[in-house]
Structure 1
Amino acid sequence: MSKENATVEAGQHKKGLQNRHIQLIAIGGTIGTGLFMGAGNSINFAGPAILLVYAIIGFFMFVMMRAMGEMLYQDPSQHTFIAYMTKYLGNRVGFFARWSYWLTTIFFGMAELTAIAKYVQFWFPDMPNWLIQVIFLVVLMGVNLIAVSLFGEMEFWFSMIKVVAILALIVTGIMMAFGHFQTPVGTVSFMNVFHHFSLFPNGVGNFVNAFQMVMFAFVGMEFIGMTVAETDNPRKILPKAINQIPFRVLFFYLGALFVIMTIYPWRDIPAHKSPFVMVFELVGLKAAAAVINFVVLTAAASSFNSILFSSGRNFYSLAAESRAKFLQPFAKMSKRELPSKAIIFSALIMSGSALISSIPAISDAFVFVTSAATDLFLMIYVLVLVAYWQYRKSPDYMRDGFLMRAPRLFVPMAIVFFIFVYVTLFFNSSSVVPAIGATIWLVVFGLISYFQPKEAVLD
């Protein structure tokens, strides 16, 4: 193998995750705070057609995950899917992807820490924002440093809380529909979803904009690819975890949204109030706001826990594939067989959010940077698919592995779709500036990566 396409063998992580951990983490990984808090806003954009938007995005995310899964199945020893970009697209692309993805997870983690503090202040309004962030950071960093099994157990219960909340919503909605429950805006009925149905109730522009809103509700789904490497039997567990993605999207997202629009006629759902809170208040749960706040707090904590897990392993991978001396200490495992130094370093960088949130001027800039970093996920997903295409042409291609169906059709479609979503960012006033920031990063850091000498990209 040429030096240009050389990769470093993955270090061996502690195999501490069980099948039940992976299955619940896989389910929880598809459910973010956007569903609990932002469903009303997305319904306002597209009406019942939001179901179509979720279904389309869910399908293409499944294509991307199948591509990633096929590569992971062939070589489950890799500690991060970013390694495949180095292996199949070259060190320059790998250099760009490693640093971009790690920085993206860092900013994403900062955003989740900020959200956690806001949710905690629902009960403790006088508690300093920075103190809440530091407490959660220390606790969850400790969880990641003790053992993979402890991380898995915490994620299991975090995911269980989200799943139970959605199941409660769906069961409640079905019972209300069959009982012809009366609300302040009418009778609960499945026909509420189809009443005055229109594919573009607020115009084609808002329908298209709904794609970018919903897209970022799915960000982080790729995390399941990293957890599988921490199991004793990844080739058995990986296909199950990935193949169930369509059913999870169908049930948890489409099911929840359908029930919400069954209870409330979709034109009467307020944009900036959680539909979950509204539903549970209707059935007499006085503490509905507090209950849903607890659910979104666990969702944010779960997301941050996963981000810390991911960023630590990505920085370990970055250090392991580099020859730079200052990175070498981060390429070592602890006695517990964990990338502890990489996790601690990533956590320390994320702790900057505590300072940022206390300075309004910087906080405004931080919102921009975080939004721009989130846009980079679309670039990473495109690179995953391009790397997969090169993998299919390589000697590594495993013809009896976990094969995607009709890749010649679906992979190009998925690449075009992710590019389409990125382009739509430039036609929305709230997303155009971050999109420009992400594009500047792509061009500037992309050129820096491209013009690096072949040997230097690993230095």
Structure 2
Amino acid sequence: MSVENSGALEGDKGLSNRHVQLIAIGGTIGTGLFMGAGDSIHFAGPAILLTYAVIGLMMFVVMRAIGEMLYADPTQHTFIAFMSKYLGKKTGSFASWSYWLTVAFMGMAELTAIGKYVQFWFPSWPAWLIQIVILVILTSVNLIAVALYGEAEFWFAMIKIVAILSLIATGIIMLLTGFKTSQGTVSVSNLFSHFSLMPNGAGNFINSFQMVMFAFVGMEFIGMTAAETKDARKVLPKAINQIPFRILFFYLGALATIMVIYPWQQIPANQSPFVAVFKLAGINWAAALVNFVVLTSAASALNSVIFSASRNFYSLAVESKSPILKRFTKMSSHKLPANAVLITALLIACSAIIAVLPQISDAFTFVTSASTDLFIMIYVLTLVTYWQYRKSNDYLKDGFLMVAPKFFVPVAIIGFVLIYLTLFFNQSAMVPAIGATIWLIGFTIVQAFKKA
């Protein structure tokens, strides 16, 4: 995307460092931790901490690559725009459409989850109606002002952070007092008892990578906020350096606490370990507590999805020669891409249709898995783009530079490719992986026959 076009969104720079920090945290910490931690621990045991650390560092490499490019050219309102600039328009087109679709699908999954969470308290309310109401509210927030969006996301994310810190604090108190539960005494030995890198076999250990990878997707949302910060070059380095480590702290801290309180061999799969832990601590209303947390987590993630995906679609519309897409370049009185927000919300609203289908749980799994597959493709393209940027005349030698890129970038790319390949050996992720591969091949074939 050209600098001239990208400047269209510069009218309302209402995001501060705290907004940017919480947008990324809000887009990352969600159901992958609160609801998926039980499966992750079941697959890999305490070794899941190593898996989170490794993938977290890979994501940090991606974040630093995005940060370095945005620091050099903060006028770009999406890091995807750099792909068109350094890898060609066809590659940029693939990345842009893939990113918009995969983030919108993630929004559909979150909205579907919201319907289920609200029904926990109001089982007679139809899920489709709940979804429409929530979507209208969050879309309205995104249409009013960037600052209001950032403020809403700030408080959404704060609820998650307080919940995780409460869990960690509870675990520390139980550990120091030698608290005894129905599962035994709370002790660090619960974490290391019968430790094995692959306690449930190599296959299950490999399967854990897909689940952990899904838990991290969305961290790059910070790249969509760069042009709408008050001082991009001041905010970006601080935000990018802090976010990955804060997220790792929340993930590793929460998981370690869970396994200290609850022997990892007994942690039930397919349900939230947060519920089990709070119940062991004597909080019988833990189910309602965790349901409230995951509800706000899903709303937070959906809020970030609408913001991020709408900016990506706006970029697509600006670059397109189609008169139909040109309609979506219209800006509101608040200097926001109103039509792009609305079309994104309309796609996400399809989840209300899915809500009446009997296979909704399968659809949810499929959509989230497919999103993860496409995210991996985009992360690899981001690192390839970064490498081309370093070779270009735009390379800013005194900018926000990545440490040892010649080592970390190739290692991260290899890591992402290996994770993608493992999806074909994971029964629940195989079909989405095949579908994502077909999307890549099909899009490439179509683009090959198009004129440049």
Question: Measured at CA, do residues 453 and 425 of structure 1 come closer, stay the same or move farther in structure 2, by a change above 3 Å?
Answer: same
Shift of 1:246: 3.7
Shift of 1:103: 1.2
Structure 1 stretch displaced more, 377-386 or 199-208 = 199-208
- SS of corresponding position for 1:276: helix
What is the identity, as a one-letter code, of the residue corresponding to 1:421?
A: I
Native 8 Å contact 1:26 1:241 kept in 2: no
Shift of 1:362: 8.2
* Correspondence 1:230-379 to 2 at 5 A: 230-360=228-358, 367-379=365-377
In 1, the alpha carbon distance for the partners of 2:359 and 2:192 equals 46
Shift of 1:367: 4.9
In 1, the alpha carbon distance for the partners of 2:295 and 2:367 equals 23
Equivalent residue for 2:5?
A: 9
Equivalent residue for 2:96?
A: 98
Structure 1 stretch displaced more, 20-29 or 163-172 = 20-29
Equivalent residue for 1:51?
A: 49
What is the identity, as a one-letter code, of the residue corresponding to 1:219?
A: V
TM-score by length of 1: 0.95
**Number of corresponding residues:** 450
What is the identity, as a one-letter code, of the residue corresponding to 2:97?
A: W
* Correspondence 1:75-224 to 2 at 5 A: 75-224=73-222
TM-score by length of 2: 0.96
Native 8 Å contact 1:316 1:331 kept in 2: yes
In 2, the alpha carbon distance for the partners of 1:388 and 1:368 equals 31
Shift of 1:19: 2.2
- SS of corresponding position for 1:144: helix
- SS of corresponding position for 1:273: coil
Equivalent residue for 1:392?
A: 390
In 1, the alpha carbon distance for the partners of 2:35 and 2:362 equals 21
In 2, the alpha carbon distance for the partners of 1:316 and 1:400 equals 31
- SS of corresponding position for 1:360: coil
Native 8 Å contact 1:372 1:434 kept in 2: yes
Native 8 Å contact 1:115 1:300 kept in 2: yes
Native 8 Å contact 2:160 2:297 kept in 1: yes
Native 8 Å contact 2:109 2:367 kept in 1: no
Native 8 Å contact 1:30 1:248 kept in 2: no
Deviations 1:325-377 (A, max 9, x none): 11112112211010011101111121111112213368856753553233111
Equivalent residue for 1:35?
A: 33
Deviations 1:363-408 (A, max 9, x none): 8567535532331110000010011000000110000111000101
In 2, the alpha carbon distance for the partners of 1:362 and 1:119 equals 14
1:62 counterpart = 2:60: yes
Identity across aligned pairs (percent)? 67
Deviations 1:202-250 (A, max 9, x none): 1122111111110000011110111232111011111111101342133
Structure 1 stretch displaced more, 21-30 or 286-295 = 21-30
Native 8 Å contact 1:7 1:86 kept in 2: no
Native 8 Å contact 1:382 1:415 kept in 2: yes
Shift of 1:24: 2.5
In 2, the alpha carbon distance for the partners of 1:197 and 1:367 equals 30
Shift of 1:295: 0.4
What is the identity, as a one-letter code, of the residue corresponding to 2:373?
A: D
What is the identity, as a one-letter code, of the residue corresponding to 1:346?
A: T
Native 8 Å contact 1:8 1:321 kept in 2: no
In 2, the alpha carbon distance for the partners of 1:379 and 1:170 equals 34
Native 8 Å contact 2:221 2:308 kept in 1: yes
In 2, the alpha carbon distance for the partners of 1:178 and 1:237 equals 39
Deviations 1:282-311 (A, max 9, x none): 222221110110000000000001000011
What is the identity, as a one-letter code, of the residue corresponding to 2:234?
A: K
- SS of corresponding position for 2:283: coil
Question: Measured at CA, do residues 359 and 272 of structure 1 come closer, stay the same or move farther in structure 2, by a change above 3 Å?
Answer: closer
Structure 1 stretch displaced more, 12-21 or 266-275 = 12-21
Question: Measured at CA, do residues 373 and 20 of structure 1 come closer, stay the same or move farther in structure 2, by a change above 3 Å?
Answer: closer
In 2, the alpha carbon distance for the partners of 1:226 and 1:443 equals 27
Unmatched runs of 5 consecutive residues or more in structure 1:
455-459
What root-mean-square deviation, in Å, do the aligned CA atoms of Structure 1 and Structure 2 show?
1.6
Question: Measured at CA, do residues 250 and 413 of structure 1 come closer, stay the same or move farther in structure 2, by a change above 3 Å?
Answer: same
In 2, the alpha carbon distance for the partners of 1:219 and 1:250 equals 13
Native 8 Å contact 1:356 1:363 kept in 2: no
Equivalent residue for 1:457?
A: none
In 2, the alpha carbon distance for the partners of 1:448 and 1:319 equals 19
In 2, the alpha carbon distance for the partners of 1:291 and 1:446 equals 47
Structure 1 stretch displaced more, 263-272 or 367-376 = 367-376
In 1, the alpha carbon distance for the partners of 2:364 and 2:24 equals 29
Deviations 1:28-85 (A, max 9, x none): 3331211111111100100100000000000000001100111111111111111011
Native 8 Å contact 1:141 1:308 kept in 2: yes
In 2, the alpha carbon distance for the partners of 1:133 and 1:249 equals 28
Question: Measured at CA, do residues 8 and 440 of structure 1 come closer, stay the same or move farther in structure 2, by a change above 3 Å?
Answer: farther
What is the identity, as a one-letter code, of the residue corresponding to 1:419?
A: V
Native 8 Å contact 1:6 1:86 kept in 2: no
Native 8 Å contact 1:65 1:242 kept in 2: yes
Shift of 1:23: 2.5
In 2, the alpha carbon distance for the partners of 1:265 and 1:78 equals 48
- SS of corresponding position for 1:285: coil
In 2, the alpha carbon distance for the partners of 1:280 and 1:153 equals 30
Question: Measured at CA, do residues 248 and 272 of structure 1 come closer, stay the same or move farther in structure 2, by a change above 3 Å?
Answer: same
Structure 1 stretch displaced more, 443-452 or 153-162 = 443-452
Question: Measured at CA, do residues 380 and 44 of structure 1 come closer, stay the same or move farther in structure 2, by a change above 3 Å?
Answer: same
In 2, the alpha carbon distance for the partners of 1:47 and 1:371 equals 22
